[in-house]
Structure 1
Amino acid sequence: MNKKNVVSIEDRIPKLKQARKKKANRRLIFYLSIFFFLLAIIVYLQSPLSHIKTISLNGNVFLTDDEALEISGLSTKTNIWTISTGEIEEAFQKKPVVESVKVKRKLPWTVEISIAEYKRVGYIREKDRYYPIIENGTVLTNHAGKTISGDAPLILDFTEEAYLNRMTEELSKLPKGILNMISEVYWAPEEKNKNKIKLYMNDGLIVSSTVRDFAEKMKIYPSIAAQLEPGSKGIVHIGVGAYFEDFNDVQPPKEEDAEEE
């Protein structure tokens, strides 16, 4: 046997001890790393470092920023990890102007609240005040103004809430372009048809129609108006069919009728 290939047990023991020591040191470093990592998390959670620093609000128009913050219950003293996004969303959904809401954490210190409100479809007038009405039929009594912005029509003479709600639902289905063409909407019920309405358009025309399926019927209005001579005055009847009644075509009374009058 070649003596050069023989390693005595005395020579191997120091190397084994050194290997075991290195392994133990690595294990100690690993456990210490975990300990300090967990300690850092605990310190972070218990310190102002985990508090919300920015609350981002998007989409609120009828709700003011202060109102939205009050509903959320959040502040810069709130721990970002203790908030319940579901509970905050539920609190917003109780407000009649809110259609939907989404609350998100954006680490490290931001909470984003995206609000989708029901859109304004018109205004109602009481005395000298104008109140917005939104697509679910809610009248926003705390948003009264002395004027209207012109972004939605004035809704008048709807004395029965059921018909007002149906009208606002139909207006909400209209494309924005057509809604902006309408200046005023009047409820004009007849004995045999309580759904009758009359509209005054921004282009000077009048529309006679019904509440029932109004949004679907009104889609043809732009094409009808485009075919008329500029400056035409009359009534566009939109029902089962559609036709234009020109005021200039109305026959004047006969002389004998005028004398009798």
Structure 2
Amino acid sequence: MEKGKVISIEDRIPKLKKIRKRNTNRRLIFLLSLFFILVGCVLYFLSPLSHVKSVEVEGNRYLSKAQIAKLSNINKNQSIWKVDTAQIAANIKEKPEIKSAEVVPVFPNSIKITVSEHNKMAYLLKGKHFYPILENGEILDGLETGEIPVFAPVLIDFKEGKALNRLLEELVKLPEEIQNLVSEIHYKPTKMDPYHIIMYMNDGFEVSATSETLSEKMVHYPSIANQLDPKVKGIIDLEVGSFFKAYQPPEQEEEKEKEGE
């Protein structure tokens, strides 16, 4: 207000009316928006729009997404907000391969399943079938005919018992990158060592070791193998110390056999 200038009440009323009208319009817009949002929510919850349309699966490695979705036993005729997530998680965890499962609804009509699986440490060869062994020691049903073992070494000549359990205890301790280097593990007990094993590696070397100290000795395998000539294959002995013995050429093997005769 300028000095000496007086604004009459008549001049102020139109401005007050505009302010009040603006505030009233804002409140009306807010209330109408809130009303339509509430109506939309009610319609969404009551309509098939909220029914389960898809199931998303994450974290699986061995089991397929379709297998896990089937294990969940989700009813697609109900709202995602009425799904019993705890029961679905329990259904999935009944599968021995599953370590944990989390189930959450995802707007507008999806269910997200996140699983964690037990690692497959090895495959036990029995007859003509391969039986997966989990990190918790559980042996699963044999693979279907024609299925090939992947992600883990094949165990040969082992039976359920102390020797197998000891080996699994040691395999679990090994870093995954070293586990992936092993192709086959043969049980070859001796009088001196009931836990003696022979390991055939994917890089062509053979390792003579004992399950008693496997995790302690095998962590050094990559550095040992890197010091060897990749063209000269042989046996890396890790039972006591660590030394390498190259395979003998076929001619020398034949000469030895003749001398033995």
> What range describes the TM-score normalised by the shorter chain of this pair?
0.7 to 0.9
Structure 1 residues 217, 46: closer, same or farther in 2, change over 3 A?
Answer: same
Q: Which has the larger radius of gyration?
A: 1
CA distance in 1, matches of 2:217, 2:210: 9
Equivalences, count = 252
> Normalised by the size of structure 2, how large is the TM-score?
0.73
Task: Give, in angstroms, the shift of residue 76 of structure 1.
Answer: 2.7
1:195-206 maps to which residues of 2 (within 5 A)?
195-206=195-206
Q: Which moved more, 1:104-113 or 1:244-253?
A: 244-253
**Matched AA of 1:141:** D
Does 1:187 pair with 2:224? no
- Unaligned segments of structure 2, at least 5 residues: 1-6, 10-19
Which residue of the partner structure matches residue 12 of structure 2? none
Q: Which residue of 2 aligns with 1:231?
A: 231
Instruction: Output the amino acid matched with 2:127.
Output: K
CA contact (8 A) 2:132 2:142 kept: no
Deviation at 1:150, TM superposition (A): 5.4
Query: Match of 2:212?
Result: 212
1:50–1:216 distance in 2 versus 1, CA, 3 Å:
same
For each residue in 1:136-182, what CA deviation from the matched residue of structure 2 results, as whole angstroms up to 9, or x when unmatched?
23333253343535543210111133432332343344334322332
Check 1:235–1:25 CA distance in 2 against 1; reply closer, same or farther (3 A cut).
closer
Q: 1:96 to 1:161 in 2, by over 3 A?
A: farther
Identity of aligned residues (%): 37
The aligned runs of 1:57-76 (5 Å cut-off) are 57-76=57-76
Q: 2:152 corresponds to which letter in structure 1?
A: A
For residue 78 of structure 2, what is the aligned residue in structure 1? 78
Distance in structure 2 (CA, Å) of the matches to 1:127 and 1:165: 20
Q: Distance in 2 between matches of 1:28 and 1:101?
A: 46
Whether the aligned pair in 1 keeps the contact of 2:52 and 2:78 (CA below 8 Å) is: yes
User: 1:21-77: CA deviations, max 9, x gaps?
Assistant: x99999898777766654443332222121122211223344344432232222431
Q: Is 2:109 the counterpart of 1:87?
A: no
- With over 3 angstroms needed to count, the CA separation of the structure-2 counterparts of 1:42 and 1:147, relative to structure 1, is closer
